[in-house]
Structure 1
Amino acid sequence: MAEEELQIEEGGKKGNMMLIIIIAVVVIVGGAAAYFFLFAGGDEPAAEQLEQTEEAAAAEAPAANADVGTALYVAMPRPFVFNVPGSGRDRLVQIKVQLLVRGSDNEELAKTHIPLIEGTLLQVFSTANADDLVTEAGKIELREQSVSEVQRVLQDIVGSEVVERVLFTGFVMQ
Structure 2
Amino acid sequence: MADELQLEPVEKGGSKKKLVIIIVAAVVLLLIIGGGVAWFLMSGDKDKAADGAKTEQTDGKDGEKGAAPKPGEEALYVALPNPFTFNVPGNRGSRVVQINAQVMVRGATDEDLAKKNLPLIESVLLQTFSQFTEEQLATSQGRESLRTTSQEAVRDALTKVAGKPVVERVLITGFVMQ
Q: Answer yes or no: is 1:126 the counterpart of 2:121.
A: no
In structure 1, the residue matched to 2:174 is 170
Give distance in 1, aligned partners of 2:71 and 2:152. Answer: 21
Out of 32, 45, 50, the position equivalent to 1:55 is 50
In structure 1, the residue matched to 2:76 is 72
In structure 2, the residue matched to 1:25 is none
Q: 1:65 to 1:142 in 2, by over 3 A?
A: closer
Q: Report SS of the residue matched to 1:95.
A: strand
1:1-174 matched pairs, under 5 angstroms? 42-61=37-56, 64-66=68-70, 69-174=73-178
Between Structure 1 and Structure 2, which shows a larger proportion of helix residues? 1
In structure 2, the residue matched to 1:3 is none
1:173 shift after superposition:
0.5
In our comparison, the structure showing a higher alpha carbon Rg is 2
TM-score, normalised via structure 1 length: 0.71
**What 5-or-longer segments of structure 1 have no aligned partner?**
1-39
* CA displacement 1:91-149 (0-9 Å, x = unmatched): 10000111111111110000000000011001101101011101111100000001000
Give distance in 2, aligned partners of 1:124 and 1:113. Answer: 17
Q: 1:168 to 1:88 in 2, by over 3 A?
A: same
**Residue correspondences, number:** 135
Give distance in 2, aligned partners of 1:153 and 1:55. Answer: 41
TM-score, normalised via structure 2 length: 0.69
Q: Quote the sequence identity (%).
A: 43
In structure 2, the residue matched to 1:32 is none
* CA displacement 1:71-108 (0-9 Å, x = unmatched): 11100010000000012221100001111111111100
Give distance in 1, aligned partners of 2:157 and 2:51. Answer: 39
Q: Report SS of the residue matched to 1:82.
A: strand
**What 5-or-longer segments of structure 2 have no aligned partner?**
1-33, 59-67
Root-mean-square deviation over aligned CA pairs: 2.0
Q: 1:43 to 1:171 in 2, by over 3 A?
A: farther
1:62 shift after superposition:
5.4
